[in-house]
Structure 1
Amino acid sequence: MMGNLKRRTMMLPYILFTVYLLQCKFLVLAILDPVDFLALQSIRKSLNDLPGSNFFASWDFTSDPCNFAGVYCDGDRVLALNLGDPRAGSAGLIGRLDPAIGKLSALAEFSIVPGRVFGYLPQSLSELKNLRFLAISRNYLTGQIPAGLDQLRSLRTLDLSYNQLSGWIPPSIGSLPELSNVILCHNHFTGSVPRFISQSLTRLDLKRNNLSGSLSPFSLPSSIQYLSLSWNRLSGPVDRLLSRLDHLNFLDLSLNQFTGPIPGRIFTFPITNLQLERNLFSGPVEPIDQVTISTVDISHNRLYGEISPRFSTVQNLYLNNNRFTGQVPASFVDKLLAASIQILYLQHNYLTGIEINPTADIPVSSSLCLQYNCMVPPVQTPCPLKAGNEKTRPTAQCVEWKG
């Protein structure tokens, strides 16, 4: 009897230690808020690794979810959720996005790497009032942007690019006060471009959609630095709008139906690549100063008048397929022969001459195309295949345009 009591007394420290370990284990499991814990479980059930990915290998719900790959906590709440291996070229995830994402009420950042996540964006995203960063790019999302996203008053970055989203871009999205980056390119959006009020907006990328309608002079804030609206069906004049956006360092409005003049002031902006080709811009083009933009493409429009010598400092200049007339400025020839101009496309205009020696040695690094103008090209240079084979424009067209 006394022996058993002695043994029990000796075992007591070990029993207490075991209980302590068990308590510690349950404390570890209880670190995360139960609502967030269940939300992560639901999200995990709806997504899987694509072959070659092992992102979810660490998602063992018998341990602390705050140690899972892509999960970042602040205290007992999930603050950021970055799903998938972020390494370039790695396999992504497949499945749907569970509405339980809306239960992570403290979430400030949510992203999914490129993969095969499909289905609709959950309406419950609108419940994430603290969300500042939302990026689900290069997946297979369909349907519309939930209208309730206008409740995300803290949202700064919205990137849903390279999906299959459709419908209108909710006008209320433009009313979000903190937006700085909106990237919705390569989808199937229709309707008009909403008016954006955020004075923090620096990047707007809506290229490769089916957007239509016109842009008012005050539809975009002057803070924008990167603007891409190419490959849509947008129309109307933009000269007053562009004159306001003097912080632009990238502009691509190509392949639309914009009309009216191109403001001369835009050529003074700190832009490296100006893409305005394949629109319906018309009128003369007169930069207010020497152009320092390295690439200017205003081809395939309805621009006319003489070519300004202020374009001679452009490295890659596309003026082809317009209605320019007169002589090619002599400064263009000087810059071309000095290899300062690498591409000079002047084909398909109504130009009447260029002062260049037929035996001039054009640098190998430079390309000049003059065909289909109102002159016989004095030098034979290779032109793009799309320029056709005809060297000169029919005389009747030249007389008619001149008259």
Structure 2
Amino acid sequence: MDRLQTLALNGNALQGSIPIKFEALTDLKVLALSGNELTGGLKEIYTLTRLEELYLSYNSFEDRLSNGSFQQLTNLKVIDMKNNNISGPLPDSLWQLMNLEVIDFHHNELDGHINDVIVPDHPLKYLDVSSNILGGGLPPSISNLQALTHLDVSYNRFNAKLPNYLATMTKMKTLLLTEDDEFGPQPLPDWLRGMTDLKQVSFRLTSRTGTIPTWFGELTKLELLDLEWNHISGTVPTQLSQLRSLKYLMLNRNKMTGEIPYEVSSLPRLKMLMVDNNSFTGELSLPVVPATGGQQCPSRVTHVVADCGNPDYGCPDCDSSTKKIACPCCTGCCYENQERCNMDDWLIEYRYCI
């Protein structure tokens, strides 16, 4: 079948490795083998020079890449290698492939650095290298990715502060930097203000300091704002009430004070609100809805956690002194010195639904 252009065998129970005879499929443009039980290496695909789309995710490939891997695949538009056992560097050769729009290597074992070799005007739109063991930092030439709309470098081992040269990437819609705590200590960057198309942004556990700027209210397309587990102080700006599309707001495990504005907690699309492990006071109010026999909390709000110290939520030592904030609609309550309250990484739950 040397004229075959598309081979799609996703979601079966195929085992073994890619056969050496695949090298004869010289007209192949789409190779889709995701969701199988394949092992071994990738060298059999490196000669498929007409390949445009490569889907090998959710297998057990265990090749070790080099900086020259994939360099012959100059027509490649999509490379999806997520959820394998691939090690080695993120190949430098990918930045020479001028048709490439999607790179997804999340949940592998990539090490080394993202090297400063990204060429100008590279057309990449989607880059996900999360859940690897990459070090170093984000190189200056990453600003050459002017078409990029999705960047996820979460859960790595970067050891350099977050650079300012991301400021030019104004088409960004998803920016996930979760659990790269060596990206700080730094305040929330001013260059976010220019990313007016942002829908999802996570700075969870990235050593953010300072306060939440009032101009966050200008990012009106935001659906997810995750600032959990930082060193952010000050109050919740009422300007966040301008985020009418916001569904997920995580401010927990910071150093914030004051009352939570009702204009923010009553946003019309809000599903999740995490404000525990701060020093908020007053009452966290959500808009109640009519119900038989009275009023009830809105059903669209699935998770609300605050420092409400309510004994009805597994808090045996709680009393009036442990309740920092009143929260009649909370689905979970934390209290002071309860070290492991609300320790879930909520990003894991929703990040692949983006």
TM-score (norm 1): 0.66
Q: Which residue of structure 1 lines up, in the alignment, with residue 127 of structure 2? A: 204
Is the strand fraction higher in 1 or 2?
1
Asked whether the 8 Å contact 1:239–1:263 carries over to 2, the reply is no
Asked whether the 8 Å contact 1:174–1:194 carries over to 2, the reply is no
Asked whether the 8 Å contact 1:339–1:363 carries over to 2, the reply is no
- Aligned to 1:158, what secondary structure does the other structure show? strand
Asked whether the 8 Å contact 2:29–2:50 carries over to 1, the reply is yes
Q: Which residue of structure 2 lines up, in the alignment, with residue 300 of structure 1? A: 229
Asked whether the 8 Å contact 1:155–1:176 carries over to 2, the reply is yes
- Aligned to 2:12, what secondary structure does the other structure show? coil
Percent identical pairs in the alignment equals 20
Q: Which residue of structure 1 lines up, in the alignment, with residue 41 of structure 2? A: 120
Q: Which residue of structure 1 lines up, in the alignment, with residue 307 of structure 2? A: 371
- Aligned to 2:136, what secondary structure does the other structure show? strand
Matched, 1:192 2:192: no
The residue type equivalent to 1:182 in the other structure is I
Matched, 1:317 2:249: yes
Asked whether the 8 Å contact 2:151–2:176 carries over to 1, the reply is yes
Asked whether the 8 Å contact 2:48–2:73 carries over to 1, the reply is yes
Change (3 A) 1:362 1:339: farther
Q: What does residue range 65-214 of structure 1 map to in structure 2 within 5 Å?
A: 65=1, 77-84=2-9, 86=10, 90-122=11-43, 124-145=44-65, 147-195=68-116, 196-197=118-119, 199-214=122-137
How far, CA to CA, are the matches of 1:372 and 1:378 in structure 2? 5
How far, CA to CA, are the matches of 1:263 and 1:239 in structure 2? 9
How far, CA to CA, are the matches of 1:291 and 1:354 in structure 2? 27
Q: Which residue of structure 2 lines up, in the alignment, with residue 262 of structure 1? A: 188
**Displacement of 1:284 after TM fit?**
2.5
How far, CA to CA, are the matches of 1:239 and 1:287 in structure 2? 22
Runs of 4+ in 1 over 6 A off after TM superposition: 372-375
Q: Which residue of structure 1 lines up, in the alignment, with residue 155 of structure 2? A: 231
**Displacement of 1:234 after TM fit?**
2.2
Asked whether the 8 Å contact 2:322–2:335 carries over to 1, the reply is no
Which structure has the bigger radius of gyration?
A: 1
Q: Which residue of structure 2 lines up, in the alignment, with residue 219 of structure 1? A: 142
**Displacement of 1:250 after TM fit?**
1.8
**5+ residue gaps in structure 1?**
1-64, 66-76, 394-403
Matched, 1:285 2:212: yes
TM-score (norm 2): 0.74
Asked whether the 8 Å contact 2:307–2:325 carries over to 1, the reply is no
**5+ residue gaps in structure 2?**
289-294, 310-320, 340-354
Is the helix fraction higher in 1 or 2?
1
How far, CA to CA, are the matches of 2:71 and 2:331 in structure 1? 47
Which of the residues 276, 279, 295 maps onto 2:203? 276
- Aligned to 1:214, what secondary structure does the other structure show? coil
